[in-house]
């Protein structure tokens, strides 16, 4: 690789890494705002917070690569045009095609990295993320109780708390318990206390009543109590067995061979097919989107003055490409046998990129 090509490649890498770090920082900050309150005020361990953020990152990186690559091309070549570097490079090499090689090379590298994420890392991280969420609901259910909201815990309990104090005291509690089939019961208490243990979570209720239907007479029975201890968490192992793996959590083989005897798998066959195609089309978008942007930029004359109109056109092109991807992704899941529409975004960008390259070749 020539010195000029290495220089352009270096600028692309620096710009893309800066953009990636910026976006990931914003993403992490937004997650922090949602989770930090649970860690500080609700007793949720900080390591859980870091795990949630860590497991959520691999799933978004392949979606970020296409736009990051396009923006890095735009910023790199815009700066080089402002500094008159592109004019010097073109005069030395005699052609604009020498500037295309490092872009394509870097695009291929990002595409391979993205492919590794979509095939390997992202499904595993998505599954680990859901497993962790389920584990939190099981082990730290009491930490997740929100006041003024009907909280569904483990599928068997619906808990409403009017007021929650910082010391764990609860005021005006409503609990609907459906653990016993055909015999639901409702607990109402003026106050209670959260009790966390290693195995399960409990609420110590005071001054309340238990309401349930009597099977023999089918009448509402009310039992008043001064004190009542309720355990409301479920074991993470039994809960995990009931978790249905979403398309984003499945490996390529699991997407290709769903268990059609399973009702959820049978209903989501189209989602599996769409996800399978997208595992490969998403990395291809990175290379093809970048190819279109660099082709448009090279097809223009390297003017000495910055063109605001041209810059806006490039940014709009990036937004349109991303919008087409989102629309096609949504259609591929909703409509049967439309999974191949996920190939449309990179095909459009590839064909348009070739059009601008041919146009550039004719003007040489």
Per-residue pLDDT of 110-132, as tens digits, reads 999 999 999 999 999 998 888 88
**174-195 pLDDT per residue, tens:** 988 887 777 788 999 999 887 7
Tokens of 177: 């318990």
Tokens of 311: 């810059």
| Cβ atoms 291, 347 nearer than 8 A | no
Provide the 8-state DSSP code for 167: T
The per-residue pLDDT for 239 is 47
**What is the C-alpha to C-alpha distance for residues 156 and 234, in angstroms, rounded to an integer?**
9
The per-residue pLDDT for 332 is 94
Q: Residue 189's closest CA among 207, 176, 177?
A: 207
Tokens of 34: 């949602």
Q: Rounded to an integer, what is the distance from CA 254 to the centroid of its chain?
A: 20
pTM here is 0.76
**What is the C-alpha to C-alpha distance for residues 214 and 219, in angstroms, rounded to an integer?**
5
The per-residue pLDDT for 180 is 78
184: left (phi over 0), alpha (psi -120 to 50) or beta: beta
| Cβ atoms 70, 321 nearer than 8 A | yes
| 324, pLDDT greater than 60 | yes
Q: Report the pLDDT averaged over residues 283-308.
A: 83
**What is the C-alpha to C-alpha distance for residues 216 and 303, in angstroms, rounded to an integer?**
90
Tokens of 343: 């190939």
Helices (H), 140-213: none
Helices (H), 83-159: 85-93, 100-116, 122-139
| 360, pLDDT greater than 80 | no
Instruction: Find the distance separating the first CA and the last CA of the chain, reported in whole Å.
Output: 23
């Amino acid at each position: 690789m020539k010195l000029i090509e290495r220089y352009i490649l270096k600028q692309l890498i620096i710009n893309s890494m800066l953009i990636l770090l910026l976006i990931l920082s914003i993403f992490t900050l937004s997650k922090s705002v949602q989770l930090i309150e649970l860690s500080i005020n609700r007793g949720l361990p900080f390591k859980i917070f870091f795990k949630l953020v860590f497991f959520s990152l691999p799933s978004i990186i392949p979606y970020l690569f296409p736009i990051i690559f396009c923006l890095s091309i735009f910023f790199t070549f815009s700066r080089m045009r402002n500094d008159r570097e592109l004019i010097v490079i073109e005069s030395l090499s005699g052609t604009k095609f020498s500037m295309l090689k490092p872009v394509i090379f870097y695009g291929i590298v990002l595409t391979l990295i993205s492919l590794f994420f979509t095939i390997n890392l992202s499904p595993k991280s998505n599954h680990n993320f859901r497993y962790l969420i389920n584990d939190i609901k099981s082990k730290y259910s009491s930490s997740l109780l929100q006041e003024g909201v009907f909280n569904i815990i483990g599928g068997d309990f619906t808990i409403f708390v009017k007021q929650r104090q910082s010391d764990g005291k609860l005021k005006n509690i409503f609990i609907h318990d459906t653990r016993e089939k055909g015999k639901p019961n409702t607990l109402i208490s003026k106050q209670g206390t959260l009790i966390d243990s290693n195995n399960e979570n409990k609420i110590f209720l005071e001054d309340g009543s238990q309401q349930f239907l009597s099977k023999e007479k089918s009448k509402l029975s009310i039992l008043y109590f001064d004190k009542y201890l309720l355990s409301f968490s479920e074991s993470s192992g039994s809960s995990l067995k009931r978790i249905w793996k979403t398309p984003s959590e499945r490996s390529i083989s699991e997407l290709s061979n769903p268990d059609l005897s399973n009702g959820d798998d049978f209903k989501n066959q189209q989602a599996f097919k769409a996800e399978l195609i997208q595992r490969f089309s998403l990395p291809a978008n990175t290379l093809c989107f970048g190819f279109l942007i660099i082709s448009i930029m090279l097809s223009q004359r390297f003017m000495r003055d910055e063109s605001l109109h041209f810059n806006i056109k490039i940014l709009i092109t990036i937004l349109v490409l991303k919008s087409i991807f989102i629309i096609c992704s949504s259609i591929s899941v909703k409509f049967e046998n439309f999974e191949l529409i996920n190939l449309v975004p990179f095909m459009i960008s590839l064909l348009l990129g070739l059009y601008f390259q041919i146009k550039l070749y004719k003007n040489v």
